[in-house]
Amino acid sequence: MTESVDEETFQSLLNVVERFTQDELIPAERLVEDTDEVPDNIIHAMRDLGLFGLSIPRVYGGLGLSLSQEARVMFELGRAASAFRSVIGTNVGIGSQGLIMDGTDAQKCEWLPRLAAGTAIASFALTEPDAGSDAASIRTSAKRDGDIYIISGSKRYITNAPRATVFTLMARTGPPGSGAAGISAFAVPAGTPGITLGAPDRKMGQRGTKTCDIYFDNVRVPANTLIGGVEGQGFKTAMKVLDRGRINIAASAIGAARRLIDESIAYASQRRQFNKPISEFQLVQAMIADSYTEYYAGKSMVMDAATVYDAQGAAPLQAASAKYFCTEAVGRIADRAVQIHGGAGYMAEYPVERIYRDVRLLRIYEGTSQIQQLVIAKRLLRDAAERTGQ
Ligand code: COS
């Protein structure tokens, strides 16, 4: 069983997050879109609310939510622009979880209290220019030299790299071509000499999120930065982190889906054509109904996947299925929302235009839809083979 907070305390937190999303985040969306920055006062408010530490155990100063509770928070935060979630996203998910799952006590004590407080930012560095879906082919190397490692290579499209205090870095400690077994995970302080950042990425959407390349040029780090102190475990750490992260992404997709449906209903109710609100036309109603049905199916999947995760500490099949379904569904829901808005839906003054672009990334990062399909099929086929002894 994962840690959780009692339902009453959790409900108060959820109410606060709901009000914060409605009163602070949604009104700031236009500013984020125009400036490509999340305002400092919002980042401070997120710290004060404890949002950076949602998933970090209480013993390290976090809120210690279960994944089911974290998902319910994401349903709310996901209603607002992706940039807000991204500020806390790597501390809650892929940046911190490698340390939480596999770090030594000393590594947890060093990083988790600051990550929970939001005074340090963790960023997950796996993807490389030539290693995306094929994560086991990474080439960034970490060579042991006495009591240090020397790291060389580069990472690509790394979320929150420009804000990072520490990188959860996957690098090859085994020989070239050693595959998954030759990969180790490190907690590398971002200020270490030899680390430089690329120019900020210019993206289709998700303005206000910060991504860029990272270059490691003979970066010397103490051997105690090796997560868990054991070489060759980094690929498994990364996969476990991604399994969990995929449920969080699916929950965010559901938050965005809810927002798109709400925007569609509001617009359809006030927009009049043929002398009546377009919400009275059955073809518009059909689009709203299809979107709600997919939203509801996806939300149920997220809650089930998170419940399995909380009970068993892993839910790779459910996580991949929920991520696959919810992120594809929100793409369809965004498309219908634009359609319901007609010409207005193509205009930047309506939120659905931005959300349509923002949610496109959900089908790609933390494993494309096609990778989720592979994970799902591989697990089912392997389980079947084990049952039949083939
Ligand atoms: N949890 C724990 N261990 C896992 C695991 C998981 N979910 N998935 C794989 N492993 C282990 C395997 O058990 C295997 O260990 P053993 O050799 O000891 O049995 C090892 O890792 C290698 O597994 P496998 O051979 O299945 O790895 P593949 O190279 O075939 O890769 C995929 C599998 C494609 C699923 C993986 O590379 C992947 O998820 N790619 C997408 C990466 C991604 O999401 N990138 C986004 C970057 S972050 S924004």
Whether 177 has a pLDDT exceeding 80, the answer reads yes
Would you say the CB of residue 83 lies under 6 angstroms from ligand 1?
A: no
Dist CA 167 CA 248 (whole Å):
20
Distance of CA 215 to the CA centre of its chain: 23
pLDDT at residue 323, rounded to an integer: 98
- In CATH, what class is 122-234? mainly beta
Beta pairing partners, 148: 145, 222
Would you say the CB of residue 316 lies under 6 angstroms from ligand 1?
A: yes
Integer Rg of the chain from CA? 21
Ligand 1 atom 8: the closest Cα is on which residue? 239
Tell how far the Cα of 236 is from the centroid of ligand 1, in angstroms. Answer: 7
For residues 130, 132, 133 and 138, what is the CA-based torsion angle, rounded to 10 degrees?
60
Ligand 1 atom 21: the closest Cα is on which residue? 236
**Mean pLDDT confidence for 287-307:** 98
Pocket mutation for ligand 1, best pick of 169, 230, 236 (most atoms within 8 Å of C-beta):
236
Q: In this predicted model, what pLDDT tens digit does every residue of 195-241 receive, in sequence order?
A: 999 999 999 999 999 999 999 999 999 999 999 999 999 999 999 99
The yes or no reply on domain 7-117 and CATH 1.10.540.10 is yes
pTM, rounded to two decimals: 0.97
Would you say the CB of residue 136 lies under 6 angstroms from ligand 1?
A: yes
Would you say the CB of residue 371 lies under 6 angstroms from ligand 1?
A: yes
Residues marked as catalytic: 366
Atom of ligand 1 minimally distant from the CA of 180: 22
Q: In this predicted model, what pLDDT tens digit does every residue of 79-115 receive, in sequence order?
A: 999 999 999 999 999 999 999 999 999 999 999 999 9
Pocket mutation for ligand 1, best pick of 97, 239, 371 (most atoms within 8 Å of C-beta):
239
Tell how far the Cα of 273 is from the centroid of ligand 1, in angstroms. Answer: 52
Average pLDDT, the chain: 98
Q: Report H helices in the chain.
A: 7-20, 26-35, 40-49, 67-77, 82-92, 97-102, 105-117, 234-270, 282-312, 316-341, 351-358, 369-388
Atom of ligand 1 minimally distant from the CA of 179: 29
| Axis crossing angle, helix 82-92 with helix 67-77, rounded to the nearest 10 | 160
Whether 1 has a pLDDT exceeding 70, the answer reads no
* Per-domain residue ranges of the chain: 7-117, 122-234, 236-388
pLDDT at residue 17, rounded to an integer: 98
Would you say the CB of residue 5 lies under 6 angstroms from ligand 1?
A: no
Q: What percent of the chain has pLDDT over 90?
A: 99
| 347 DSSP assignment | S
Tokens read off for 33: 């879109």
The yes or no reply on domain 236-388 and CATH 1.20.140.10 is yes
Tokens read off for 245: 């992260």
pLDDT at residue 276, rounded to an integer: 98
